[in-house]
A and B are shown apart, each in its own frame.
Chain A
Amino acid sequence: MARMKFLCDADRCIECNACVTACKNENEVPWGINRRRVVTINDGKPGERSISVACMHCSDAPCIAVCPVDTIYNTEEGIVLHSKDLCIGCGYCFYSCPFGAPQFPQVGNFGTRGKMDKCTFCAGGPENNNSDVEFKKYGRNRMAEGKLPLCAEMCSTKALLAGDGDVVSNIYRERVVMRGFGAGAWGWGRAYQGQGS
């Protein structure tokens, strides 16, 4: 069993934001928090590309390394989850995450952060699977039902792939071969306008 991974195919994403809506609806994510969002570069210009970004469930997650109270952990399936009971809302995970995945609700009059919230790969958290408590704290646990994250299941162009890393990479590899040009992904050269290779 490989680790659970997301992969967004930038050649297929049409910036419809259905993944964002599906995530918010499925997990009843409150206002002000986006576990997933679509990022577009070169908007309205030639070479426009969009990708859907959320927690990438890193194998060596920087958020786990920096958390002062060790509230974030890796499951056996490689999903990065956290305990809201332990979180102190310090925000270190947000500073360390290259994808901006950890989100904080603004609670209180003085802008205190509250407990961290992020994509759970629709796998809930450290509560009984599919319990009310788990749903209220972390959202739906679709993985316990043998279902993939709804953002990927809802994606109409199948740009967003989710699941076992071996399967996801095989699907993407097949697409690359079928397209017959490059990986369809950007390198540093594209990201930084010609610099690097």
Chain B
Amino acid sequence: MKRLFVLSCMIVILGLSLGACRKSEQGRPLMYKKGTYLGAPDQKISPEALEKARLGAWRQRGF
């Protein structure tokens, strides 16, 4: 009876500790693909902003 209790306790503890190994618990990728960025995706810069930056780059010429 006592052995069964210890065994069930161990199973519960193991289950809880493994549960903390999930990706959602860790908040980071757990499996990596070499050379592939797996973080949050970057928000794109709008074409208008890029064009504005491009014109800004030309303005550096006038000195």
Contacts and interface: CB of A to CB of B under 8 A. Distances in A.
Interface of A: 1, 65, 69-73, 75-77, 81, 83, 85-86, 123, 125-129, 143-148, 152-153, 157-158, 161-164, 167-168, 170-171, 174
Interface residues on B, range: 20 to 34
Nearest to B61: A171
A76 to B, nearest CB: 7
9 contacts: A1-B50, A69-B32, A70-B33, A72-B37, A86-B28, A146-B52, A146-B53, A163-B54, A167-B58
A172 to B, nearest CB: 10
Contact of B45 (A69, A83, A144, A152): A144
Given A144-B49, A146-B50, A163 B60 contact: yes
B15 interface: no
B19 interface: no
B59 to A, nearest CB: 9
B39 A77 contact: no
B54 to A, nearest CB: 5
Contacts of B46: 144
